[in-house]
Structure 1
């Protein structure tokens, strides 16, 4: 598996380091060692951090409230990493590189810098010839990008599954999963740590560049904001407003760096390197980032765009409920239309035909410079050298008073209680195919066979259970529309149960139009880019709350374990 080695410095200066003595520097740095192939907790009880991967020393520090990576790190898409910092911001990472094209007439500007670089696996679709795949080939393609992890930390989450199915080539979706640990002693009187668990889905368009940048940097930008608050002696775990503010600032700061900072650097030094760095400004991406706080069992969902997060609960009478923790931000949402038009009075075409300026469907997004800027420091993009101008598209029609699109997220906060069983987050490609109730019902059916203790469900086998959607703003959410005519009555659709990974299970059934294996086979067999006419890129993450039945206190050892039964095995080395 190839690995990319990068030296990264986050928001610091030489002056911050110049005044540190060697003694103080040693206090700032905690070293973490990557242990290949084994759990270091077993081989060396004193060493808490571990990795599925290869060896490389990594030093992490907290300087002036900001995060600083002092040495080299491997950016490996299939790794589980822990990073120690002096202030307790330790991260367990299991991110995969991979990120739709909602912009009318838009196309990817190329494959350079795509999220598949160095991954060692092909998650980007295959070939251009049309052929009908065998059942084994269909299964292999559906499971090619699946990952599952067992979380043995005793902090309210015991498992999460992730899966993707490309339609674009390369896939324009991406995702990230990270746990940042924070000491809880400031206000709670405890010496132990609590977890902030981040799960993100990034739905790209016009290329994979923006979503790839988000998967790499968004949690880090939010953590940097949290670190600044924490360094001031504030207990961020008990301050909901502070966490909200850190998330919002992290989103906006990263988007500013993606668009304004990168284009400014391009004008200052027009080169191949600055052009590559500016590619995330040219493409775009939605972003959904959820944060589970183990200190108070709250779940925050920050949304920029039209991905969706669902929370599913089981009451004491064995009734299932699902509610959306986000509201789709598109040109179809009346509140978003009102917001955009109020910011651009006298411009009736600011939203036209359900799209921003008649072109972009999400009303909020990262990147997408075409909807945000006219010039950089008074210089128009037309002033760039000709060999660089070819990467930039003309401004949209009726482009008068930018910005029309923002990366500012809407944030919701929900209490996760004993009845809360799981969360599903997914790109809009999933919700084009399945309703909220169907998504929840499919997970419930899967849990009957794969999660202990078995969930109670008295509905007939072969049919989805009844799930009531109690979303507060369901009228603003776009309904599932693809292949709905193939299904039976609502909540009575048949389903397929063939996967150990629940996210793959959802993707398979999303393509099945009510348990139709022929639909699955056909829709999986259609190659990129022809498949984009029939389905979008699909990215799904499912997070289970609580703890599995029979888990003892001794089983909680602070680690994250790769669940091999629901993970695509690595390709054999040649």
Structure 2
């Protein structure tokens, strides 16, 4: 993009309130080859301006752009929100929501209860190069994890007696896989179950089960393209599109006080904890696999010859192209050159082979696994794609959810704390409730609350004008200001955790 094109793009901009700091975000920012310092130089005089092309939620009246009203903004924000409550275990409930910037959205999420073993699974997947890989992960990965967690005797019984029974109970499952791919995926999963039976192991370990499931599914994404090609010479464009697109993943397994988080890429999980002084603490559980993680840079440098030191990481990206330094899919950075020439190049062109591609693989799907033993002071867990973390810090997000917890009680009718309460005590209760109503949040769903503040938040609260403008941008422009956002907030039962043995 040159300066003249940038100026043309921004020539129909509207002025935004001073103090607004926009970021070049989204798929275009994260994965495009361009040098974004150059783009910033071109637009340095326009940092308070942005495009206001006509989109859904925006209207023209007498030549003046009319932004969506507060009610219309709320409808947009709440479109994908979901809540699930539980009656037992350490998780009381969770809230989730998604807001697209790309069209179609490249983020996905999935949540499920293991049916044959204890534990709740929750995953957030941030796709790039299209939504295909992230959508497939959301449908398949939790099944692979649930299978890996089965003790050997239960696994054998399951495979021999009832292999069609679902291993997980999913919630809010909105993604549908096309029929011909379903058969491919079912066959891969059956093969994985057989491999698990033959795998030597001593009991079940959640940490190794998470890693094994992620690596196995990533391997299957490749095999489902390569094996048919080797047998028949045919290339299925559907399985190839999944393999060449990619996604980062953050998956948690919660069983009583035991919290495990597996992370591949740059999503994050943050724990909201209350200290002795009733102040909120943000415990960032995960570490991003990107160029800001020096351990990741050293790992990649050490895996390739010294002669590639200047090319393996360029402009803070893998081979100058990919921002996350670990991901699932993305076999453009994993397959041998000859395989790329035979499979990828005929379908997508010579650009299928990245520049300076000399000693593959350059990319791994191996996750980092984190463990935390929950205590009564741990109140909630936030799992989110980097669309949220680009806009706010872990501590800001934890404080917002903490304030939301306090305020959302006022969505429920007033309940007297005991029978035979005196009128004076009732009056005190009502006065306190009236004062506290000032902190009542606009949204019942905490994930929506976070997204609203991420987009429209200022130091003085949420600014409707900013929020309405950013929600009204067309997708091609929106990606320059914000990324897709997917947020899941998991609430813990403090009383349950208090009763768990140390």
Contact map agreement 2:151 2:204 (CA 8 A) in 1: no
Indicate the structure with greater helix content.
2
Q: What is the aligned partner in structure 1 of residue 104 from structure 2? A: 170
Q: Deviations over 1:68-95 (max 9, x none)?
A: xxxxxxxxxxxxxxxxxxxxxxxxxxxx
Cα deviation for residue 316 of structure 1 reads 3.2
Q: What does 1:90-489 correspond to in 2, within 5 Å?
A: 100=27, 102-105=30-33, 132-152=67-87, 154-182=88-116, 195-227=118-150, 229=152, 231=154, 242-269=205-232, 274-294=236-256, 297-346=257-306, 347-348=308-309, 349-375=311-337, 379-384=338-343, 389-390=347-348, 393-451=351-409
Residues 495, 406 of structure 1: alpha-carbon distance in 2 compared, 3 angstrom cutoff:
farther
Paired with 1:243 and 1:499, the residues of 2 have a C-alpha distance of 35
| TM-score for both structures, normalised by structure 2 | 0.68
Cα deviation for residue 242 of structure 1 reads 1.4
Cα deviation for residue 164 of structure 1 reads 0.5
Cα deviation for residue 167 of structure 1 reads 0.3
Residues 126, 277 of structure 1: alpha-carbon distance in 2 compared, 3 angstrom cutoff:
farther
**Rg larger for:** 2
Contact map agreement 1:263 1:278 (CA 8 A) in 2: no
User: What secondary structure is seen at the aligned counterpart in 1 of 2:251?
Assistant: strand
Cα deviation for residue 127 of structure 1 reads 5.5
Cα deviation for residue 261 of structure 1 reads 3.2
Residues 408, 383 of structure 1: alpha-carbon distance in 2 compared, 3 angstrom cutoff:
closer
Q: Deviations over 1:339-391 (max 9, x none)?
A: 1111113121211221111111100001111111125xxx53433598x5237
Contact map agreement 1:381 1:389 (CA 8 A) in 2: no
Paired with 2:455 and 2:206, the residues of 1 have a C-alpha distance of 37
User: What secondary structure is seen at the aligned counterpart in 1 of 2:323?
Assistant: coil
Contact map agreement 2:70 2:464 (CA 8 A) in 1: no
Residues 128, 381 of structure 1: alpha-carbon distance in 2 compared, 3 angstrom cutoff:
farther
Q: Deviations over 1:114-145 (max 9, x none)?
A: xxxxxxxxxxx965988622222211111111
Paired with 2:385 and 2:203, the residues of 1 have a C-alpha distance of 26
User: What secondary structure is seen at the aligned counterpart in 2 of 1:396?
Assistant: coil
Paired with 1:361 and 1:149, the residues of 2 have a C-alpha distance of 33
**Structure 1: unaligned runs, 5 residues or longer:** 1-98, 107-124, 184-194, 455-493, 550-574
| Aligned-CA RMSD value | 3.1
Q: Deviations over 1:317-340 (max 9, x none)?
A: 212211111001102210000011
2:465 is aligned with 1:518 = yes
Contact map agreement 1:371 1:403 (CA 8 A) in 2: yes
Paired with 1:240 and 1:534, the residues of 2 have a C-alpha distance of 48
Contact map agreement 1:266 1:278 (CA 8 A) in 2: no
Residues 230, 416 of structure 1: alpha-carbon distance in 2 compared, 3 angstrom cutoff:
farther
Match of 1:544 among 471, 491, 494: 491
| TM-score for both structures, normalised by structure 1 | 0.60
Residues 495, 381 of structure 1: alpha-carbon distance in 2 compared, 3 angstrom cutoff:
farther
Residues 380, 182 of structure 1: alpha-carbon distance in 2 compared, 3 angstrom cutoff:
closer
Cα deviation for residue 161 of structure 1 reads 0.4
User: What secondary structure is seen at the aligned counterpart in 2 of 1:227?
Assistant: coil
